[in-house]
């Protein structure tokens, strides 16, 4: 293994000079810099991560905590995680992957050992058990998702309340008066997951303001669950012409069942989805949708965190504005006889 000392010797300079060439923390004459860089290349030197961490009390590692809930839509999580990893690298950080298994202990372990300099938490619940720990520790952190109380925390999320409002507005403009919301599995609401409740709040508030009737039904994924849910919806509200879906695994079943019942989309019924772009464009009907900007969320989370690590940085809630893309699944409400 090549050490910094060996590089120094090879280049005929002191160890500290090599160190400073690497960190750029003080000015170096062009000639020595070149000699050092050449030695580094020639010897194939790689600074030792452990030694660096020990001497500088900085690991250059960001912990990313992904609680594994089976009822969450995985691809979005993955997309965010990948964006976080890529973003972190551009700032010189690596990502340590923590799954939910350990729960809050993982926070203690990582902060206590100096394994990571900071952490990003995904899939935050409204009253998340990891939050008290975060507030206590001095560990810089960013949440992806919004808890109930954001005091003293930095959060990045899609503005789901605005998302809900946007969906309702779109349908209202098209003349729909009775709207059904096909939501996430009931467990998601029972857990008081932030995004689900906030979307619902946005939907309800705007519907009330616009004088629309809104029916919300949680729904598991798959055909059977969707079939039952759909039956109930039309049973309770036969005049329903607008649907808002926020559940990736219910999208295709919904479309298939509507088709099967002879309800044409968008002629008889309009559908607006809150889902990843890919799901919206690859569905059997191209869906009017509000996309979850996974990449953007990952990128922004890293930026916030790096800002904190660099001393500029503030506790701030970053809500990304939703964008609704009109595709083939929404159209004017049918004229009622």
Partner DNA sequence: CTGAAAGCGCTAACAA
Partner DNA sequence: TTGTTAGCGCTTTCAG
Q: Which does 29 bind (CB under 5 to 8 A by kind): a copy of itself, DNA, none?
A: DNA
Q: Which does 328 bind (CB under 5 to 8 A by kind): a copy of itself, DNA, none?
A: none
Q: How far is the CB of 85 from DNA (least distance, A)?
A: 22
Q: How far is the CB of 51 from DNA (least distance, A)?
A: 3
Q: Which does 94 bind (CB under 5 to 8 A by kind): DNA, a copy of itself, none?
A: a copy of itself
Taking the C-alpha atoms of residue 17 and residue 101, their distance in angstroms, rounded to an integer, is: 44
* Residues that bind DNA in the complex, under the rule CB under 7 A: 1, 3-5, 12-17, 19-20, 22-23, 25-29, 31-33, 45, 47-48, 51-52, 54-57
Query: What b/e string do you get for 112-128 counting C-beta neighbours within 10 Å, with b at 16 or more?
Result: eeeebbbbbbbbbbbeb
Taking the C-alpha atoms of residue 101 and residue 83, their distance in angstroms, rounded to an integer, is: 23
Q: How far is the CB of 115 from DNA (least distance, A)?
A: 12
Q: How far is the CB of 97 from a copy of itself (least distance, A)?
A: 4
Q: How far is the CB of 321 from DNA (least distance, A)?
A: 39
- What are 125's strand-pairing partners? 193
Q: Which does 12 bind (CB under 5 to 8 A by kind): DNA, a copy of itself, none?
A: DNA
Please say which residue, 94 or 129, places its beta carbon nearer to a copy of itself.
Answer: 94
Query: How big is the chain, counted in residues?
Result: 337
**Residues 6 or more apart from 240 whose CB is under 8 A from it?**
178, 179, 180, 215, 233, 234, 269
For residue 59, which phi and psi values (nearest 5 degrees)? -95, -15
Please say which residue, 43 or 324, places its beta carbon nearer to DNA.
Answer: 43
Q: How far is the CB of 280 from DNA (least distance, A)?
A: 46
Taking the C-alpha atoms of residue 299 and residue 275, their distance in angstroms, rounded to an integer, is: 19
Using alpha carbons only, what angle is made at residue 282 by residues 277 and 285, rounded to the nearest 5 degrees?
Answer: 105
* Residues that bind a copy of itself in the complex, under the rule CB under 8 A: 1, 44, 46-54, 57, 59, 61, 64, 66, 68, 74-75, 77-79, 81-82, 85-86, 89, 94-99, 101-102, 108-109, 112-115, 221-223, 249, 252-253, 256, 281-284
Please say which residue, 83 or 233, places its beta carbon nearer to a copy of itself.
Answer: 83
Q: Which does 28 bind (CB under 5 to 8 A by kind): DNA, a copy of itself, none?
A: DNA
Kindly give the residue spans of alpha helices, DSSP state H, lying in 44-73: 49-56
The gap from C-alpha 82 to its chain's centroid, in whole angstroms, comes to 10
Q: How far is the CB of 264 from a copy of itself (least distance, A)?
A: 15
Taking the C-alpha atoms of residue 297 and residue 156, their distance in angstroms, rounded to an integer, is: 7
Please say which residue, 177 or 286, places its beta carbon nearer to a copy of itself.
Answer: 286
Label residue 100 exposed, middle or buried (CB < 10 Å: 0-12, 13-18, 19+).
middle
Label residue 168 exposed, middle or buried (CB < 10 Å: 0-12, 13-18, 19+).
buried
Q: Which does 97 bind (CB under 5 to 8 A by kind): a copy of itself, DNA, none?
A: a copy of itself
Please say which residue, 312 or 336, places its beta carbon nearer to DNA.
Answer: 312
Q: Which does 23 bind (CB under 5 to 8 A by kind): a copy of itself, DNA, none?
A: DNA
Taking the C-alpha atoms of residue 252 and residue 297, their distance in angstroms, rounded to an integer, is: 26
Taking the C-alpha atoms of residue 80 and residue 66, their distance in angstroms, rounded to an integer, is: 10
Please say which residue, 5 or 321, places its beta carbon nearer to a copy of itself.
Answer: 5
Please say which residue, 114 or 334, places its beta carbon nearer to a copy of itself.
Answer: 114
Inter-CA distances, 169 with 156, 177, 204, 296, Å: 24, 11, 11, 24
Please say which residue, 84 or 333, places its beta carbon nearer to a copy of itself.
Answer: 84
């Amino acid at each position: 293994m090549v050490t910094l000392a060996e590089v120094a010797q090879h280049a005929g300079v002191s160890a500290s000079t090599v160190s400073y060439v690497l960190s750029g923390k003080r000015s170096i004459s062009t000639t020595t810099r070149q000699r050092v860089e050449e030695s580094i290349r020639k010897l194939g030197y790689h600074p030792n991560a452990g030694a660096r961490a020990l001497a500088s009390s900085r690991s250059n590692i960001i912990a990313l905590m992904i609680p594994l809930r089976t009822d969450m839509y995985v691809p979005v999580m993955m997309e965010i995680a990948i964006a976080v990893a890529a973003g972190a690298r551009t700032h010189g950080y690596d990502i340590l992957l923590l799954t939910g298994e350990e729960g809050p202990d993982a926070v203690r372990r990582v902060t206590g050992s100096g394994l990571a300099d900071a952490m990003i938490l995904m899939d935050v619940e409204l009253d998340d058990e990891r939050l008290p720990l975060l507030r206590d520790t001095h560990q810089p952190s960013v949440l992806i998702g919004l808890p109930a109380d954001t005091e003293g925390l930095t959060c990045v999320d899609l503005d789901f309340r605005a998302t809900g409002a946007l969906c309702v507005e779109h349908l209202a403009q098209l003349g729909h008066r009775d709207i059904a919301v096909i939501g996430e599995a009931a467990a998601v609401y029972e857990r008081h997951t932030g995004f689900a409740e906030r979307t619902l709040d946005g939907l309800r508030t705007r519907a009330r303001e616009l004088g629309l009737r809104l029916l919300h039904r949680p729904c598991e994924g798959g055909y059977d669950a969707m079939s039952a849910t759909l039956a109930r919806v039309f049973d309770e509200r036969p005049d329903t012409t607008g649907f808002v879906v926020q559940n990736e695994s219910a999208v295709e079943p919904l479309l298939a069942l509507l088709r099967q019942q002879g309800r044409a989309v968008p002629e008889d019924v309009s559908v607006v989805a809150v889902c990843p772009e890919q799901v919206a464009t690859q569905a059997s009907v191209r869906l009017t949708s509000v996309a979850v900007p996974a990449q953007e969320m990952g990128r922004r989370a890293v930026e916030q965190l790096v800002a904190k690590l660099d001393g500029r940085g503030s506790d701030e809630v970053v809500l990304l504005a939703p964008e609704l893309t009109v595709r083939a699944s929404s159209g004017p409400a049918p004229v009622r006889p």
